[in-house]
Structures are given as C-alpha cells and as structure tokens.
Amino acid sequence: MYNYKTKIKLHDTDAAGLLFFANQFKIIHDAYEALLEEIGFGFGELIRNRPFFLPIVHAESDYKNPLFVGDELDIQVKVTHVGTTSFTFSYELFNQKKVLVGTAKTVHVTTDKATKQKIPLPPEMREKIEALYNT
C-alpha cells in the first residue's frame, strides 16, 4: 500500500464549495503519479527514457461523503491486480477525521510507444508493482 496526502483546494470545488466530481479523478491521478515517482517510473522518466506508455483504459469512482475546501485527504493506493500487460490500482480516500469519503479504481495497460500496441509489463516495473501488491 502507498499513502498520499493532499488538501482540497478552492480550484478543486464547485460553486457550493464541494469537491467537483471530476476532480476526484485528478486527485487520485496525483497519487498515482507520486507512487510511480516513488518506484522510479515518474512521468518525466517514462516520457523521455522508456519505450512504453501506461494509458488508463478504465476508471471508476464512488463518492461516499462530501469534501470541502481545506479538507485534508489521506489516499491509500493498493495494487489489486497484476496481469501480463496491465495492472489495477484501487484508491481509498479518507478525510482528516479518518472517514472514508471516496473510492476509485484505475486499470493501466502497457503499450509500445512506437506501435501503440499492448506489450508485456516490463520486468523491472512488474517487480516494483508486484512488491506493492504483496504489502
């Protein structure tokens, strides 16, 4: 499991001061990017130096409790599946009171940069993701 902390900012909310629904995806993507950076596959590294991409092919999100400007979030990211060409992350979002406020899931597929075709997850990345899967 990987933990990511952030805070709801004004630009994350709608006119009522509540988290705008689409921004839950932005927030979990920030957590995803931080996790990749932590395991040595930050997007700068991926885009400049690796022969593959990791597009999201499925995303879903549930909203359990409202979030307001200034709320602090603890996002717990878990690897829930590692396949030949893909992996799945699940996200649980907790506010500063430790209340579950949202959940999400993203499925990522490894594709060759040149051909845009699915390819097996590179061994070095598979090792890092599987290590998270087993924690």
Residues 80-118: pLDDT tens digits?
999 999 999 999 999 999 999 999 999 999 999 999 999
Confidence of residue 133 (pLDDT cuts 50, 70, 90): confident
Single out the catalytic residue among 14, 30, 62, 112: 14
Q: What is the pLDDT of residue 78?
A: 96
Q: Which domain holds residue 11?
A: 2-133
Mean pLDDT taken over the chain: 95
Number of domains composing the chain: 1
Question: Is 14 considered catalytic here?
Answer: yes
Q: Is the dihedral of CA 96, 72, 32, 24 positive or negative?
A: positive
Q: What is the pLDDT of residue 17?
A: 87
pLDDT at 24: 96
Residue 135, pLDDT > 80, answer no
- Distance CA(19)–CA(8), nearest Å, equals 7
**Could you give the dihedral angle defined by the CA atoms of residues 39, 44, 48 and 49, in that order, rounded to the nearest 10 degrees?**
-10
Q: For residue 81, what is the domain's CATH number?
A: 3.10.129.10
